[in-house]
Structure 1
Amino acid sequence: MNKSELIDAIAADAGISKGAAKKALESFVTNVSESLAKGGRVSLVGFGSFSVSGRAAREGRNPQTGKTISIAAKNVVKFKPGAELDTHVNK
């Protein structure tokens, strides 16, 4: 499912226009992104939790040349599914 298909599904399920569904989805994405950028955590009971975790700097290898390269430290987003989502997916 891509973004436009999700917007169509939200509009149909909620009985709202596609424009309103698009605004709601964009608002959700923006607010989750901003919260995670501040180091926060977003929990949706039954669906799951988004959090940010730090990844340390490390050395890697270029697979074409075999040369050692340094990979910078960065923050990564993690998602842990909730019990309801996990149960629904693993029926």
Structure 2
Amino acid sequence: MTKADIAERIQERLSCTKNDSIELVELALEALKEAIVKEGHVKISGFGNFVVRKKADRTGRNPQTGEAITISSRSVLTFKPSTILRSRVNGK
């Protein structure tokens, strides 16, 4: 499913113009992005949690040479679905 598909469904349900539904999707996604960057987490009840996690430096190996290298620290975004969403995905 794409942003355009989501906008189309919103347009059908709200009986609004295509441009209005696209703008609504863009605004919602922008709000999510800003909250994740600013707060480090977003919880959507019945859907799940987006959390920014910090990964420390670690040692890895170059697969071609076998040489040990240091993989620098970084932030990663994780998603954990709610139990409601997980149940629906699993057909319960």
Whether TM-score is above 0.5 comes out as yes
After superposing the two structures, state which structure 1 stretch, 75-84 or 58-67, moved more.
58-67
Runs of 4+ displaced beyond 4 Å: none
Could you tell me which amino acid in structure 2 is paired with residue 74 of structure 1? R
Q: Which stretch shifts more, 9-18 or 71-80?
A: 9-18
**Distance in 1 separating the partners of 2:18 and 2:66:** 50
Post-superposition offset of 1:50: 1.1
Structure 1: runs of 5 or more not aligned: none
TM (norm. structure 1) is: 0.81
Evaluate the alpha carbon distance shift between residue 38 and residue 32 of structure 1 in structure 2; reply closer, same or farther with a 3 A threshold. Answer: same
* Amino acid in the other structure paired with 1:33: K
TM-score (norm 2): 0.81
Match of 1:17 in 2: 17
Q: Deviations over 1:61-90 (max 9, x none)?
A: 222332322211111111111122111111
Structure 2: stretches of 5+ with no match in the other structure: none
Deviations 1:30-71 (A, max 9, x none): 111111112332111111111111111112122233232221
User: What's the RMSD between the two structures over aligned residues?
Assistant: 1.7
Aligned residues: 91
Identity %: 35
Residue aligning to 1:61: 61
